[in-house]
């Protein structure tokens, strides 16, 4: 049920974001979604890609420090309040979110939320119990590529 997310350390200066993205593009690896957290001095690029192990190898070979993290994807209805309802469930269960990001699908009426939990297994159990739909890797790939 968990997804593998790649994180990269980048210095916060012009041109630093493009280089790793080009490196994986060159290998024909498609990015499903990404998020960037930054300070004035550095950034953390988080990527969800189709072939995470290959992408990790490519990036590491090119000299980046890459970290692998398990995240949880949940789909919600792409309408006002969709995210808020999901968050209310998590909050009610006392689940702490380290960070999250979201994207909506090109087709259909769903949005995908990506969560980084301290304890992803417990989070998945709670989400399922509360009737939310946890999207696994294969499913995400199929919905994204349509």
**Distance in Å, CB of 63 to other proteins, minimum:** 6
Q: Which two tokens stand for residue 100?
A: 């999250």
Kindly list the residues in this chain that would bind other proteins in the complex (CB under 8 A).
5, 7, 9-11, 16, 37, 39, 41-42, 44, 46, 63-67, 69, 98-99, 116
With respect to other proteins, which residue has the nearer C-beta, 33 or 77?
33
The structure tokens 């209310």 sit at: 88
With respect to other proteins, which residue has the nearer C-beta, 20 or 82?
20
**Distance in Å, CB of 95 to other proteins, minimum:** 16
DSSP 60-122: HHTT--EEEEEEEEEEEESSTTHHHHHHHHHHHTTPPEEEEEEEE-SSSSEEEEEEEESSHHH
**Distance in Å, CB of 21 to other proteins, minimum:** 15
Q: Is 50 exposed, middle or buried (0-12, 13-18, 19+ CB in 10 A)?
A: middle
**Distance in Å, CB of 41 to other proteins, minimum:** 6
With respect to other proteins, which residue has the nearer C-beta, 16 or 110?
16
């Amino acid at each position: 049920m968990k997804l593998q997310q790649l994180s990269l350390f980048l210095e916060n200066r012009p041109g630093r974001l493009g280089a790793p993205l080009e490196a994986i593009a060159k290998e024909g690896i498609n990015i499903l979604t990404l998020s960037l957290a930054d300070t004035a001095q550095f950034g953390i690029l988080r990527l969800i890609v189709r072939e995470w192990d290959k992408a990790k190898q490519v990036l590491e070979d090119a000299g980046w420090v890459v970290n692998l993290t398990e995240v949880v994807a949940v789909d919600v209805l792409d309408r006002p309040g969709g995210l808020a309802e999901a968050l209310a469930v998590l909050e009610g269960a006392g689940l702490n979110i380290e960070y999250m990001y979201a994207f909506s699908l090109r087709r259909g009426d769903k949005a995908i939320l990506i969560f980084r939990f301290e304890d992803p297994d417990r989070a998945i159990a709670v989400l399922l119990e509360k009737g939310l739909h946890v999207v696994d890797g294969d499913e995400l790939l199929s919905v994204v590529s349509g």
